[in-house]
Amino acid sequence: MNDADKKRLLREMIFYRRFEDRTFEAYMERKIGGFLHLYTGQEAVATGVLEMARTGQGADNDYVITGYRDHVHAIKTGAAPREVMAELYGKETGSSKGRGGSMHIFDASQNFMGGYALVGQPFPLAAGLAMGCKHKGTDQIAICFLGDGANNQGTFHETMNMAKVWNLPVLFVCENNQYAIGTHINRSTAVLDQYKRVCAYDMEASQHDGMDIDIVMEASKKAIDFVRSGKGPYFIEFMTYRYRGHSMSDAKGYRTKEEEAEWQKRDPIKIYTERLIEAGIIKAADIKTMEKEIDDEIENDIIKFAEESPEPKVEDLTKYVLDDNPDPRWVGPLHK
Partner 1 sequence: MAEIAYWEAIRRAHDEEMANDKLVIAMGEDIGVAGGTYKATFGLYDKYGPERIIDTPISENSYTGIGIGASMAGMRPIIEIMSINFALLALDTLINAAAKIHYMSGGQISCPIVMRTPGGTAHQLAAQHSARLARMFMSTSGLRVVTPRGPLDAYGMLKSAVRSNDPVIIIEHEQMYNLKEDIPDEEFFRPLEGAEVVREGSDITLIGYNYSVHLCLQAAKRLEADGISAEVLDLRALKPLDRESIRKSVEKTHRVLVAEEDEAPVGVGAEIMAVITEDCFYALDAQPVRIHAADVPVPYNAKLEKAAIPSADDVYHGALKVMGKI
Ligand X SMILES: Cc1ncc(C[n+]2csc(CCOP(=O)(O)OP(=O)(O)O)c2C)c(N)n1
Residue 313 found at the interface with partner 1 (CB under 8 A): no
Among 20, 83, 107, 148, binds Mg ion (CB under 5 A): 148
Of the candidates 156, 163, 160, 154, the residue with the CA atom closest to the CA atom of residue 133? 163
Min. distance of Cβ 192 from ligand X in angstroms?
A: 13
Decide if 149 contacts 119 (C-beta within 8 A). Answer: yes
Residue 69 found at the interface with ligand X (CB under 6 A): yes
Q: Phi and psi (nearest 5°) for 170?
A: -130, 135
Angstrom distance (rounded) from CA 271 to CA 242: 16
Min. distance of Cβ 37 from ligand X in angstroms?
A: 6
Contacting residues for 275 by C-beta, under 8 A, at least 6 apart: 214
Residue 147 found at the interface with Mg ion (CB under 5 A): yes
Question: Which among Mg ion, partner 1, ligand X, none contacts residue 210 (Cβ within 5 to 8 A by kind)?
Answer: none
Residue 234 found at the interface with ligand X (CB under 6 A): no
Question: Which among ligand X, partner 1, Mg ion, none contacts residue 159 (Cβ within 5 to 8 A by kind)?
Answer: partner 1
Interaction residues for partner 1, span 275-304 (CB under 8 A): none
Of the candidates 4, 195, 216, 313, the residue with the CA atom closest to the CA atom of residue 224? 216
Angle between helices 3-28 and 43-52 (to 10 degrees): 130
Decide if 140 contacts 62 (C-beta within 8 A). Answer: yes
Nearer to partner 1, 129 or 282 (CB): 129
Angstrom distance (rounded) from CA 74 to CA 109: 11
Residue 66 found at the interface with partner 1 (CB under 8 A): no
Among 119, 224, 239, 269, binds ligand X (CB under 6 A): 119
List residues binding partner 1 (CB under 8 A). 63, 65, 94-100, 104, 106-109, 113-114, 116-118, 121, 123-133, 135-136, 142, 154-155, 158-159, 161-162, 165-166, 319-327, 329-330, 332-336
